[in-house]
A and B are shown apart, each in its own frame.
Chain A
């Protein structure tokens, strides 16, 4: 994917959970490869829902949605699994596997990608250090604080150097210092690896080094405002 190509293209996107109750409608927008994008909007406006459609958990009921040139409208599950290997997702509710240790959770995308044990371990160690969780490798998610769990989710999303990072409120539970660490990591991935970063947030940090775009959701429609 070259820098100038659109990596996410939505045309007249329509999303719903219950029949005829639209969450997202009449939305046409595109996100360039290698860009840094914020999505904001009031609570319940459909930000998480929009991200869900990006990773294929909610299929469009109308319009078109393409990620990396692949249409998500009627994607086969095998193709979707393939696509998801290139995504790094941070969920609003973290979605850590509670039966697994912190280390194994972070390793999940690497295991799926089929890396050797050595590579998995080295990469996991490096990332846990980045999110300041060294020493907690063998903890289970429920033994961690909310903010610590969020940082595990961050490490997991970065583990396999994804092409696109989709982050839902990645600093929602963090103090200012930890938030800074997270923003630095996302900026780093964007700057150094050209990763496309899409972040849902309530407040855009004011000292960001990279240029960014801003999408706003209001009454179910996505607007690009800067």
Chain B
């Protein structure tokens, strides 16, 4: 019973650290996938008197990934549908070129403004229009979340490490007699600390599994996808498992470092 309580006192802070770190990982991952989605979703329309080529645009703005000419037949067709009566063949020669310009990444507001200026400066370009999508608000919210989670991660990290340290200190006291006797027979530091490290490893495994279970539940719910508004953003269970590898390593590192610090602080018996 007492040992169960001891385990829980280590599992809770370890869990808190790992949960917070994983939260940060997931937010970052969602943001980067979101950016990919947004940059596909996003377009800039350029109207130009002269034909434009991709290399030409890339030379002035390397962030431009793709341009697509809007077929003038399409525009004429639309005019016809609206019943505008003109000589279409003649009009075709007067119509400027319309291009959709795609960027390689999702631009910030400043960058967008900068790109607009650059495009306007190209010879022959008469208009540049940008289209913002509803998703942008969500994107800014995610960025905000990431910043906040970084802050909380820091706080959780510091307080939890202190709790981990306290718990390992308690273990050390509980096992100090055995460790002392082992030292009298010449046992090296790692052997004396083996029991503490073993206990920490068990608790790290338990904490990591808990984090995994909770996140795989949360990520499997429909709720998240609806919130993000993109069907194709997913955190696969492989991704999650890979993260668990990192979390486990982090947990072990925290415990082992704490065990070593605690044992250094012990009065020297050897």
Contact = CB atoms under 8 A, between A and B. Distances in A.
Contact of B185 (A78, A99, A100, A108): A108
A84 B268 contact: no
Interface size class of B (residues with CB under 8 A): 10 to 19
Contact of A81 (B178, B181, B270): B270
B235 interface: no
Contacts of B186: 80-85, 87, 109, 112
A89 B184 CA distance: 8
A35 B184 CA distance: 23
Contacts of B188: 78, 81, 112
A83 B186 CA distance: 7
Nearest to B270: A77
Contacts of A77: 268, 270
A96 B191 CA distance: 17
Contact of A57 (B177, B178, B269): B269
Contacts of A57: 184, 269
A109 B191 CA distance: 12
Nearest to B269: A57
A98 B182 CA distance: 12
A84 B191 contact: no
Interface in A161-211: none
Interface string B167-188: 0000000000110011111111
A84 B188 CA distance: 11
A142 interface: no
A76 to B, nearest CB: 9
B184 A112 contact: no
A112 B177 CA distance: 17
Contacts of A112: 182, 185-188, 191
Contacts of A100: 178
A84 B185 contact: yes
A56 B185 CA distance: 11
Nearest to A156: B185
Interface in B228-270: 268-270
Contacts of A98: 177
A6 B235 CA distance: 71
A57 to B, nearest CB: 7
B269 A97 contact: no
Interface in A82-106: 82-85, 87, 89, 95-100
B269 A108 contact: no
Nearest to B182: A108
15 contacts: A55-B184, A57-B269, A81-B187, A81-B188, A81-B270, A84-B184, A84-B185, A84-B186, A85-B185, A95-B181, A95-B184, A96-B181, A108-B182, A108-B185, A112-B186
Given A80-B186, A85-B185, 7 more contacts: A78-B188, A81-B183, A81-B187, A84-B270, A96-B181, A100-B178, A112-B185
